[in-house]
Structure 1
Amino acid sequence: MKVFFKELKQNILLYLALFLLFSNYMLFTAFDWGGEDSFTFFKNIIRIISLFLLFLYVGQVGKIKYSIFSCFLIVLGLYAINGNDILLNIFFFLIIFACLFRVKLDNIVVFAFTSYVIYFVLHNFFIFTGILENSISTFDERIRNSYGFSNVNRLGIFYFYFFMLNFYMIAHNNKAFYKKIVFYFFALSSIIYILLSDARTSLFLCILIVILWQLSKFDLFYKLQRFALNFVIFFSAGVSFYLASKGGESFNEVLSYRPAFFKQYTDLLFENNISIFFGVPLNEDITVDNSYIIFSGAIGIVLSFIIYLFSPIISYKKYIPRAYVIMIIASLLYGVFESNLLRVEMLAPIFVLFCLFFGKKENFS
């Protein structure tokens, strides 16, 4: 934490931009004030301010890696063709990635944790004071509580990431007994909210994190986890498109009818050669809770499949610390059932994707 606060002054523009993006999402999208669309103007203004701060910071950095610059050009070219708004999120990711080469990733994780603590406190304050109200929904005999979030899945996603960040803090503070008590309290609170929201995917992945961490203490199991990490994107993308096929129809009820929506969107992707090569606009009438299918829609089937196919080669020789391996595996698997991997505002996907695709040993403290 001391190292983080020391670096905070040096990289204040980057951290301020990231906190504005996170606050923009939490205040104007995640929390339910009774009309998300009414905040569109404010959301756009804050995103522009954040973008401006990031450009100022890139100016301080002084250079952009060739690999990042090439991705910039591809994303801007595709956006000119299909106008898919997801590409704007990817553009934000790339700008932030250009900044992260001079920042230790451990400090980014601590910053994300601190930001989540702030909004954990705010969320509970708003609930207990009645500023935000709990709404209860029932579906297929499931009782789900939103606790002031605009929908129950957003509540589940927030507390999944909060749990994951607390797992990181516990793993990196083995000897700090009193700090660990606080982290365990936050982690337990996250599980309680996840249970109350009946967010099954979030709960299963929190359990998976705990199991993988315990197993990783044995070198053999850690090596197996590190090897498996190379294939998680390939596996997750394969499962996603299988669920979007006729074979996925049998999973409709179990997966809250997500496969039916996946199929509607993938039908658009394979509609003609232009959509296959250059993607399609984001269809707001179809809810696609899947990061891999949405990513394919943004950049096209051909390019996305190349990335999925070669993802094991990209991550094979990268230095990735033990705790990061587990966080990356859990986050990538979550992407099969939510579009959270492409939400730069959630902060956690930033260090997950950077670590996987661009990170080097010197990026870790």
Structure 2
Amino acid sequence: MSVQTEAAAPVAPVMQTHPVRPGRLTQLWADMKRHKVSYLFLTPFLLLFTFFTIIPVFMSIGLSFTYYNILEPPRFIGLSNYKLLFVDDDIFLKAIGTTLKFAFITGPVGYIMAFLLAWLISQIPIKYRFFYTLCFYTPSITSAVAMSVVWLYLFAGDRKGLLNYYAMKLGIINEPYLFLQNIHSIVPVIIIVSLWMSMGVSFLAFLAGLQNVPKDLYEAGAIDGVRYRWQELIYITVPAVKPQLLFGAVLQVVTSLTVFDVSIQLVGLPSPLYAGHTILTHLYDYAFIKFEMGYASAIAVVLFAMMIGLNRLIFKWLGRD
């Protein structure tokens, strides 16, 4: 008995298809539709940030390539403003040196001081924390004008200045020392006053982060052999508050590079032999006294680039993927 089999029909090869990835804009639009309520809440901030931060930044970059004195329309002059800044403007080069000197001293010192003070306050009983927090935070919310009155009395260059009075009374000096007129003491005085006023938002961020470190981490550390407070600080506390450390570092960079009010109130504009002249002071001079907005925009772009560069370094050291 023979069995007849039909010839099998040829089977078409199966093509392996890969899902097509949507583009970034398509994916963003899908995310916006999926989370539309969240994006609606973000809309007011995004609009304000766009109109008052992003657009002015690009406008400043554009004006930096022009000559613009407010009275006349901007006139394109290419890189002339930048050439003048770095080749012919000796005062600006001096302002860069003063600003960097100020930043590299007040930045790390103010940052470490804010963190250590916040850590010390977090160790005391809760009922006393508000008092100490208020004492350290108050100088940062006090206007520079009000603070300068106190510091001008302290560093006054006559016999009635507080430091000169007690130094002469103790026989340390014979004649009053001109703290705010001597070019060698102007920058140290500005640094001291700025450090006194540096316990600002970063200090509060450190304090909030330290108070929210889980107690379980310290208990686990004690089981693993952590015995001393400095060991807790290095191995437990610092890694736990790394986001707050990053936030505080960014704020400290911005604050240290934009010193202005303290310098103006203490030593005036211009300061003696431009000893207290900073980048922001130079920008203010050209923008609102000489009304050379194109040149002032070039100064602002240089300052902005310095901030971006230092912030990138900070994100590299403290940032997370």
TM-score range, shorter chain: under 0.3
RCO higher in structure (CA 8 A, sep ≥6): 2
With structure 2 as the length reference, what TM-score do the two structures score? 0.25
Q: Which has the higher helix share?
A: 1
Larger Rg belongs to: 2
